[in-house]
Amino acid sequence: MRRVLHGNLVYAPALGALETAEHAYLVTENGIVTGQFSALPERFLDDPIDDFHDALILPAFTDLHLHAPQYPMLGMGMDLPLLDWLERYTFRTEARFADPDYARAVYRTLANALIRNGTTRVSMFSSLHTDATLILMEELERAGISGLVGKVSMDRNSPAYYTESTEESKRETLRWLKACERFTRVRPILTPRFTPSCSDRLMRWLGDLAKESDLPVQSHLSENRSEIAWVKELAPDCERYWETYAKAGLWKPGTLMAHCVYSDAIERKAMRDYGVTAVHCADSNINIASGIAPVRVLLEEGTMVALGSDIAGGAQLNMLEVMQMTIRASKIKRIETDWQTPFLTVAEAFYLGTTAGAAYFGHAPGFPIGKRLHAVVIDDRAWGDIDRLTIAERFERAVYLAKEPDIIAVYADGVRRK
């Protein structure tokens, strides 16, 4: 089954670079990209075409840090200090996912919302519930989303109504992993919530499991100052936060660490040396007044950085809005550093929200040949001046202006889903 797409292609081949191909063609076979052409070769002229005419075709978005069970509290409790926010909203909301019917309804809505907004690859935190986590994975698969989902491990410093014993956590993790075998697009990722809510014993067990079963790992790192002080109290043997993961065997290539706002030179070097990816969550870091992560420094040092919406600390599911907020956060970092740090350009934020995330999943930039198509199509005609502007200018405007209805088509893992 061949299918041709036509439109203006835009992607980020490298950090800071932008590649555009005006009125170009993508050819797919069974969802796999087989060619990109500036004029359609004669042999494809009779194939069915999705002709998007003058619209912009971009790689679909990647969201490498978000909390699925916090979706019902999106945009709420933003005025509360972190601990009150966790108590009054987060834990209570996550606890509702003990109910499989509730989980089914919310996760179906979330999966559909992700697709409608052009996010096709994710790394997600679920709740601690095995069944709800499996439902989340089912709903993501059904919607066409690929990536990683983690049942959260949390056996200490959690409210009585939303915690698990160490033994229970181990048992449920194994039950969950066994049940994951049936999924094809969505794979499990080990997910200690963060050091304060995961005992040393459980962390070490997860580290051993990660090694034996060759499973990836995600967690939180150096998000805010009181959290860091708490970790220091809980793990006096560790000089820095990252060591609490490292000593358990959880610090390894492919590990995703959200935030890294206060990671100093040594912690950043450990990220780079071990191949750990920093997931920058600009909106969340601002909403919770955590601070602004040193993204430019991380990138200059050669650490891998991708973007996360971090709902519901972040209030925006749409990754174009997340890219915008990434740019804004970098401009604040510029102000904070007496205008000495270059901000992230539109092309750079776009790279982090597409190419960098795709790279985490082993995909080359753009619309790589031999891989299933991940793409979004944006119709920007309503904003005018289509004929006066370059494709690059129109792309930049789309990053700032496109809302969900302007994303007129989404291809996820080779299949058109919108």
> Least CB distance from residue 117 to a second copy, whole Å?
12
> Of 250 and 292, which CB lies nearer to a second copy in the complex structure?
292
Least Å from the CB of residue 325 to a second copy: 8
Q: Which is nearer to a second copy, 168 or 404 (CB)?
A: 404
The nearest distance, CB 94 to a second copy, in angstroms, is 14
Q: How far is the CB of 14 from a second copy (least distance, A)?
A: 17
* Minimum distance from residue 305 beta carbon to a second copy (Å): 19
Q: Output Rg (C-alpha) for the chain, integer angstroms.
A: 21
Residue that is written with structure tokens 């056996």 in the block: 155
Nearer to a second copy, 91 or 383 (CB): 383
In this complex, which beta carbon is closest to a second copy, that of residue 76 or of residue 238? Answer: 76
Q: How far is the CB of 49 from a second copy (least distance, A)?
A: 30
Q: Which is nearer to a second copy, 267 or 406 (CB)?
A: 406
Q: For a second copy, which is the closer residue by CB, 32 or 297?
A: 297
Least Cβ distance, residue 197 to a second copy (angstroms): 24
Residues in contact with a second copy by the rule CB under 8 A: 72, 74-79, 106, 109, 283, 286-287, 289-292, 315, 324, 327-328, 331-332, 334-336, 339, 343, 345-346, 383-385, 389, 393, 396-401, 403-405
Q: Which is nearer to a second copy, 159 or 384 (CB)?
A: 384
Sign of CA dihedral 279, 282, 286, 291: positive
Nearest distance in Å: CB 204, a second copy = 35
Nearer to a second copy, 235 or 322 (CB): 322
